[in-house]
């Protein structure tokens, strides 16, 4: 599903995919552990690279941080490792906005093997907008809230990912 939306770069009309598909990456040799597959820490790093693309789209990325001295800090992340990937594998990431308010952004990312199509891992994130000078939470700018509203509308018809909202524990 694709919907017509406003581009943060140009102020013009663009399409927003449902879910967003805005990042691809190759599993690097230094990401491989002694088990011969991508180490858990690098899954989070790769997801973080995809998150950077989301924040660029929302005009909350590096340029915003430098310009406004504000940023989004991730305060919680739940990763599900579903199927291993190995050195040289091409990865594709999708992102779905689950919710937001004036200070927080709740989103879900999925990592796929680009060529074979299988779901390798998921990450559910909660970020909070922070004034870097005060080191305290702050309201998101109006322009970003408008983009989030448009993204939420574009993603409204998507099902909630089955890994979303999970807790961790040993079931008895």
Q: What is the pLDDT of residues 11-65, one digit of tens each?
A: 433 456 678 998 999 999 999 999 999 999 999 999 999 999 999 999 999 999 9
Q: Is residue 130 part of a domain?
A: yes
Q: What total number of domains does the chain contain?
A: 1
For residue 25, the enclosing domain spans 2-155
The first and second tokens of residue 134, run together, are: 């005060």
Contact 121, 114 (CB under 8 A): no
Cα gap 125→93, rounded to integer Å? 14
- The pTM for the full model equals 0.88
Give strand pairing partners of 60: none
Q: Is residue 52 part of a domain?
A: yes
Cα gap 166→76, rounded to integer Å? 13
Q: Is residue 168 part of a domain?
A: no
Mean pLDDT of 129-142: 98
H or E stretch at 52: helix 40-57
């Amino acid at each position: 599903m694709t919907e017509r939306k406003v581009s943060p770069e140009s102020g013009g009309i663009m399409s927003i995919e449902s879910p967003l598909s805005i990042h691809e990456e190759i599993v690097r040799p230094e990401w491989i552990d002694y088990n011969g597959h991508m180490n858990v820490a690098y899954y989070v790093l790769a997801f973080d690279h995809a998150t950077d693309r989301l924040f660029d789209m929302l005009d909350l990325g590096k340029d915003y941080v430098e310009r406004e001295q504000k940023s989004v800090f991730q305060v919680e992340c739940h990763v599900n490792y579903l199927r291993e990937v190995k050195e040289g594998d091409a990865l594709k990431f999708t992102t779905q906005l689950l919710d937001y308010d004036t200070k927080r952004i709740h989103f879900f990312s999925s990592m796929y093997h680009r060529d074979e199509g299988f779901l390798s891992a998921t990450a559910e994130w909660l970020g909070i907008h922070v004034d870097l000078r005060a080191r305290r939470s702050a309201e998101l700018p109006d322009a970003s809230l408008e983009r989030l509203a448009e993204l939420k509308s574009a993603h409204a018809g998507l099902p909630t990912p089955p890994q979303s909202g999970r807790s961790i524990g040993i079931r008895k």
